[in-house]
């Protein structure tokens, strides 16, 4: 009789463990999506797609040259890219970055999901017809500007991630008015321009890579000074007040505590008063 195979887990236990890991990962993904306001972002993207459909179906346009005629679709595309970028901000900051080993992949997944959703929503809105470049131009423009927004989120923080797509919109309008042909302004190029598609793809790949690596976080929760053990140890070494005692954080309580300590100190007012009462026959009641 041997002990071989005693520590080997049964197939049913291994299957239960795999199912538990999958459920935990799905729950983590759901919580990450809620912390990034993904449901609200999906609703906004759907609304932008509906707005694009209404604008194209109603022939909304501004009289003028190419820059004026494309301003309405470009503004909607910029709004979709800004929604994707702003949702990259988390509320927990450095604590989340230090504690979550799945956080880089969750960031990458959220950015990819929202970029795909924005392209799908605006492509559905473009079915009304009349859009210059069609769905290919929408996919290229939105993906490239979303990448710029993610780069802006990594540098400026999620609250200001809209700044780069908005600045790029102004550059696009200037390029259309001036007739520039650079592929780096892909929103001003035809939909079959290979160079413009490569530039937009590079912008998206760079933005998602940077946001996956972890950009600047605006939601860092600083520790409360009264609950910082390092601060408490440093003040204790210097002989200063401890932040854990309420009397040390309130000037009035500190003053009352100092007076009480002076009274109770040997040789203090209370001790001198007791000695005086012991030496006075009138106070002690002793008579010779």
Output the DSSP codes for 57-87: HTT---SSSHHHHTHHHHHHHHHHHHHHHHT
Cα torsion at 169, 172, 176, 178 (round to 10°)? 120
- Tell me whether residue 169 is in a domain: yes
- Tell me whether residue 221 is in a domain: no
State whether 197 and 247 are in the same domain. Answer: no
Query: Residue 5 pLDDT more than 80?
Result: no
Query: Residue 145 pLDDT more than 90?
Result: yes
State whether 125 and 258 are in the same domain. Answer: no
State whether 86 and 192 are in the same domain. Answer: yes
State whether 33 and 132 are in the same domain. Answer: yes
pLDDT tens for 187-239 read 888 888 999 999 999 999 999 998 887 654 444 333 444 444 444 444 444 44
- Tell me whether residue 6 is in a domain: no
State whether 77 and 197 are in the same domain. Answer: yes
Average pLDDT of the segment spanning 140-154: 91
Determine the structural domain holding residue 250 and report its residue range: 242-283
- Tell me whether residue 229 is in a domain: no
Q: What are the φ and ψ backbone dihedral angles of 280, each rounded to 5 degrees? A: -105, 115
pLDDT tens for 65-123 read 777 778 889 999 999 999 999 888 767 665 556 556 777 888 888 889 999 999 999 99
State whether 93 and 190 are in the same domain. Answer: yes
State whether 272 and 184 are in the same domain. Answer: no
Higher pLDDT, 283 or 38: 38
Max intra-chain CA distance, the chain: 120
- Tell me whether residue 10 is in a domain: no
Both tokens of 267, joined, read 């040789």
Q: Judge whether 86 and 218 are in contact, CB under 8 Å.
A: no
Q: List the beta strands (DSSP E) in the chain.
A: none
State whether 112 and 149 are in the same domain. Answer: yes
Mean pLDDT of the chain: 75
User: pLDDT-derived band of residue 277, with 50, 70 and 90 as boundaries?
Assistant: very low
**Number of structural domains, the chain?**
2
Query: Residue 279 pLDDT more than 60?
Result: no
Question: Model pTM?
Answer: 0.64
State whether 161 and 115 are in the same domain. Answer: yes
Given 194, 213, 232, the domain boundary residue is 213
Q: What is the pLDDT of residue 222?
A: 38
Query: Residue 15 pLDDT more than 80?
Result: no
Q: What is the pLDDT of residue 120?
A: 93
User: pLDDT-derived band of residue 57, with 50, 70 and 90 as boundaries?
Assistant: confident
Q: What is the pLDDT of residue 140?
A: 93
Q: Judge whether 161 and 88 are in contact, CB under 8 Å.
A: yes
Q: What are the φ and ψ backbone dihedral angles of 189, each rounded to 5 degrees? A: -100, 160
- Tell me whether residue 52 is in a domain: yes
Q: What is the pLDDT of residue 106?
A: 84
State whether 100 and 159 are in the same domain. Answer: yes
**Angle at which helices 269-279 and 251-264 pack, to 10 degrees?**
30
pLDDT tens for 161-186 read 889 999 999 998 888 888 888 889 88
State whether 89 and 175 are in the same domain. Answer: yes
- Tell me whether residue 268 is in a domain: yes
What is the C-alpha to C-alpha distance for residues 130 and 142, in angstroms, rounded to an integer?
Answer: 18
State whether 148 and 264 are in the same domain. Answer: no
Query: Residue 34 pLDDT more than 90?
Result: no
- Tell me whether residue 116 is in a domain: yes
CA distances from 197 to 136, 176, 180 (A): 10, 17, 16
């Amino acid at each position: 009789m041997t002990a071989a195979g005693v520590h080997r887990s049964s197939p049913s236990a291994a299957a239960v463990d795999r199912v538990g890991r999958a459920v935990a990962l799905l729950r983590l993904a759901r919580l990450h999506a809620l912390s990034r306001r993904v449901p609200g972002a999906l609703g906004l993207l759907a609304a932008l797609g509906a707005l694009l459909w209404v604008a194209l179906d109603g022939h909304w346009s501004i009289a003028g040259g190419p820059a004026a005629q494309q301003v309405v679709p470009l503004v909607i595309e910029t709004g979709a890219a800004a929604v994707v970028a702003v949702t990259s901000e988390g509320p927990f900051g450095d604590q989340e970055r230090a504690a979550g080993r799945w956080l880089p992949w969750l960031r990458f997944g959220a950015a990819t999901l929202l970029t795909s959703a924005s392209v799908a929503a605006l492509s559905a809105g473009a079915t009304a017809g009349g859009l210059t470049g069609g769905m290919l131009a929408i996919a290229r423009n939105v993906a490239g500007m979303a990448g710029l927004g993610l780069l802006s989120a990594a540098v400026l923080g999620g609250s200001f991630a809209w700044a780069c797509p908005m600045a790029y919109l102004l550059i696009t309008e200037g390029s259309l008015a001036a007739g520039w042909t650079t592929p780096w302004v892909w929103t001003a190029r035809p939909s079959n321009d290979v160079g413009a598609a490569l530039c937009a793809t590079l912008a998206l790949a760079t933005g998602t890579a940077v946001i996956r690596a972890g950009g600047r976080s605006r939601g860092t929760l600083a520790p409360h000074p009264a609950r910082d053990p390092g601060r408490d140890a440093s003040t204790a070494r210097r002989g200063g007040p401890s932040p854990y005692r309420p009397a040390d954080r309130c000037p009035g309580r500190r003053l009352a505590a100092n007076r009480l300590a002076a009274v109770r100190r040997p040789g203090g007012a209370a001790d001198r008063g007791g000695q005086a009462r012991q030496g006075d026959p009138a106070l002690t009641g002793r008579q010779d």
